Amino acid sequence: MSEHDDHDGGSASGRRGYELSDISTKVAVVSAAALVIAGILVHVFVWLLYVSFGQAASASYSPQYPLAAAGAPPLPAAPVLQVKPREDLKRLVTEEETLLHSTDWVDRNAGIVRIPIERAMQLVIERGLPVRAETGTAAAPAGQASRLPEASRFPEALVTPHQGATPGTGRQ
């Protein structure tokens, strides 16, 4: 029991159960400062590496597309989807048929009228297609004057409405 009763370290063998002195504050402060400085130096070194590698990569990188340097392209508008394509097609065909079979003013000031397609085909059959005047060095055949042929007055036939049709109504 003598070993356990000795609290002041006066045992004969020289073993003590605790330290008699504290850690030196100078050693603790120097060690902590060294760790902080080492941490700061490591962070600065890694940051410098990161910056230098980034500059080297951007200097060696050429954009794959010439317009890539201009930035991100604007996003396109949302797609316009056909909800009912069959009805849309039917409506389109109906509108086109109405235009093909109606009479209406195209340009009232110029006197241009849209006529039904049947009447236009009939006029083409009757009068032929418009022909340009000959402007080359070749001489006109004997008996023909150098004026425009009769068929060249075809656009004038388009000015008159088709057999009593009223322009703008689309009815005959």
Nearest by Cα to 113 from 150, 165, 151: 165
Four-point Cα dihedral 141, 142, 145, 150, nearest 10: -70
Q: What is the pLDDT of residue 151?
A: 43
Q: What is the pLDDT of residue 76?
A: 81
Environment class of residue 101 by beta-carbon count within 10 Å: exposed (0-12), middle (13-18) or buried (19+)?
middle
Four-point Cα dihedral 121, 123, 129, 132, nearest 10: -140
In angstroms, the CA 40 to CA 38 distance is 5
Contact in structure between 123 and 157 (CB atoms under 8 Å) = yes
Tens-binned pLDDT, residue by residue, of the chain (172 aa): 455 554 555 555 567 788 778 888 999 999 999 999 999 999 999 999 999 998 888 777 666 666 556 666 678 888 778 889 999 999 999 999 999 999 999 899 998 999 999 999 999 999 988 888 877 555 545 444 444 444 444 454 444 444 444 445 444 4
In angstroms, the CA 102 to CA 113 distance is 10
Contact in structure between 120 and 162 (CB atoms under 8 Å) = no
Q: What is the pLDDT of residue 23?
A: 83
Contact in structure between 103 and 114 (CB atoms under 8 Å) = yes
Q: What is the pLDDT of residue 48?
A: 96
Domain ranges of the chain: 19-63, 85-131+148-172
Q: What is the pLDDT of residue 171?
A: 45
Please give the model's pTM, rounded to 2 decimal places.
0.31
